[in-house]
Each structure stands twice: as structure tokens, then as C-alpha cells.
Chains A and B, each alone.
Chain A
Amino acid sequence: MATAANLPQAASQAFGLVSTKWSASTLKAAMTTFKTALRAIFPTDGTPAIRSVSNWLVIGAAIDTDIPVDPTRCSYITLNQACRYVFQICWAAENARTSTPQRITTAQATAVLAAFNAAW
């Protein structure tokens, strides 16, 4: 389980943590956990402002379905996509929280960080 103190730190840990899950053949499970937690934070279409973060869920769901159940068949390309996705959604949430006006609530951003730490 990751222990990032903030979202930029989480983003910076993306590659290391995602590839650790890949090495341990638990990438699929971690991606699914992350995706499920994120969906609970952004359950509906929301506003355009919120979608500046939640649209990443579409990309994440597509990557998750691309990850084979058999971990030995997970390609480097899929791994790289997963790393970038985690990196980018963490930055998106941080930027949406710190922008003026805020595009997502502080509680939502905190929940994204919690989802990251729980999944990775």
C-alpha cells in the first residue's frame, strides 16, 4: 500500500508502484480497485469542471479491460499506459483542487489520494 502525502507525490510514485504491481502479477487487481474507488468519488456525469478529472475514468476503464487476467500476458505497452494514466489522473485532481475556482472539492481530491494509497 502506498503512502503518498499528496497528489503530486502520488503522481511521482506512479511508475514505481504500478510496475511493482505488474511484477507481482497484481496489476489487474490494483487497477480494478483504483477504478472502483474513483467511480465512487465521481459517480455521475457531473459538470464540465468535474469532468476535467473524471473523464480519466473512461481511459482508466479501457486500460483495465485491456489488462489480461493472466498477468504473464500483460504487455509493456499496457503497463506504460497504466503508469501514465495513474500519473495523469493524480495531476489532474491536484490541478482541479488548486485552481481558482476549484473544479473539484478538497474532499474529492483527498478521496482520490486515498484511492491511490489504497490501490497502489
Chain B
Amino acid sequence: MTYPQPAASEFVKNGGEFWRLNTLLASPGDIYESDESLLALAVGPDSDLSRVSISYYDKSVPASLTNSMIISPDRSFVGQIAARPDQPYPLTGLHGRVLVSPAELYDPAYRPPSGTLAFDVVNFVTPRLDVIGYFQNVPSVIPQRSDGDFYTELYQRPTVAGPTLAWSFVVVPYYGRKYGDFAILNNSAQSVDVQLLGIDYTTNSSALVQAIPTTLLATAAVAVAAQRDYQIRASVDGMFDAIVIGVRGSVNPQTLGPIYTTLRTSDDAL
């Protein structure tokens, strides 16, 4: 979906009781709008992002007349937020609307640290933003997110000729999650190395350090038909914006075969 976004007014015209913005992020700079007033706001069940910024017209705020809040799976907002399309925001040429944007960073320019940076391949699971705005009074909203379930059997093979041991990385959103269950089974014809990082993005991605990395599983060999597991616990490992799964073939990365991988994530601290 991304853009054009669904207009909240269409939901109202169709007699809907809520407006749902359920979209993959088009970029780290996404911002969406509702031109309809809302009676409650909550993070939706399918959201990868856990913290969402809401900005709205508020006459009581000096100068900018703009107020904001952050909603999360732990904190929805129940109460009227008037869109006020009749009122211009001062200092801009824009009129009143409820604005929705990620309060967490996402950087598709991120490259995991490695000694073979120029030859690695990096794939991103694009974060999904899911927000629900209600047009009717609700006594309370408990915006529990669904568990996440990333699964792959295939890692993109490094295609540029280079060192044998180039990495294939997959970056999976992990915003606000408190538990992750990682498992990898090597069903290829060669031994593979695997590593697992937790990262927090920075806005300083031109520098050598584009994110704060935490090693969850240091580079470890997984023999043919062997398996590795790791449980990510917020109380032990911390909380991260994303989990980086790295795999490389020990013989030839260009013949990397099926490698079954799952990463199940949950908001519950198991």
C-alpha cells in the first residue's frame, strides 16, 4: 500500500467504525495523515514498529499549536483528537490533520559489520506500520501485537566475485519485542557459519558505525544437517530495533543451498 495512503474520510463515508493504516514503510521518512477526528488510537496487531508518533492540532500549545504523543503496544490513547482541517498550522502552509509517523528508526542503508563488506549481500524485511484510529467511543483499547514469524529457507547468494567467505545477511524488525526464538538448520551440502546480532539504528549512518550492534550469537560453524538455536530474552540480551541473521558458506557461497531458519518474536517476556 504505502502511498497513496487510505483516506480516513473514505472509511467514514463507508460507515466504518475505525480507520486502519496498515502499510509497509516506503522509507524511514514516512508520514501519514488522517483528515478525520479520532476517538482513540492504538498500534495495530500486525505492526512491526512498536512506537508510533501522533501529532495533532492543539490550540493550547503556544506558537506551533502542535502537540504530540507516542502510542505503543503498552500505551494506546483513548480520547478525542480533533483533526481541525479548518484551522491552519501556523509557521507552515498546512491545515490541521492528525499526523502519524514512526517514532523508531529504520535505515535501509545499514550494512552489518564484516570483513567482506563489499561482497556481502544484505536483505531487509521491511518494517510494517499498523495503526488503528477509532471513530466511535471505546472504553479502552489493549493493542496487543501478534507474534512475529520470520521464516526462510533461502539466503541470497553473494554474486560479486570476491572472497569465498562473503556473508548473506537478513535484517528482521524487532522493535519493542521482548522475546525471540531463533533456530537454523543447515540442509545445504556444505558447512555454514552463522551469526546473530541485535542492532539499534543510529541517524549517523555515514559513519563507520551505522547502528549499535550487540552480538547474540558469535560466528559459529553449523555442520551439514546440524542445527543451532538461540533464545533472545529482553532481560538478558536487551531490546533492539532489528535482528541481523548472517550466514556464509564455508566452501563456496555461490552454491549455498537450503538453510531453514525461523525467528519467532513476541511482546511477552518469556
| Interface residues of A, Cβ cutoff 8 Å to B | 8-9, 11-16, 35, 39, 42-46, 48-49, 51-59, 61-62, 64-66, 83-84, 87-96, 99, 103
Contact = CB atoms under 8 A, between A and B. Distances in A.
Contact of A49 (B4, B68, B93, B205): B4
B93 A45 contact: yes
B3 A43 contact: no
Interface of B: 3-5, 7, 26-33, 55, 61-64, 66, 68, 89-95, 97, 99, 101, 105, 109, 202-207
B175 to A, nearest CB: 15
- The majority secondary structure among interface residues of chain B is loop
A39 B204 CA distance: 25
Contacts of A89: 29
Given A42-B93, A51-B33, A52-B3, A11 B28 contact: yes
Contacts of A96: 3
Contact of A92 (B4, B7, B31, B68): B31
A59 B93 contact: no
- The majority secondary structure among interface residues of chain A is helix
Contacts of B101: 59, 88
22 contacts: A8-B109, A11-B28, A11-B203, A12-B109, A44-B93, A45-B94, A46-B93, A48-B33, A52-B32, A56-B29, A57-B92, A58-B64, A61-B89, A62-B55, A65-B63, A66-B64, A84-B105, A92-B27, A94-B29, A95-B26, A95-B27, A95-B30
B92 A39 contact: yes
Residue with the greatest number of chain B CB neighbours at <10 A, chosen from A43, A46, A84: A84
B28 A88 contact: yes
A109 to B, nearest CB: 12
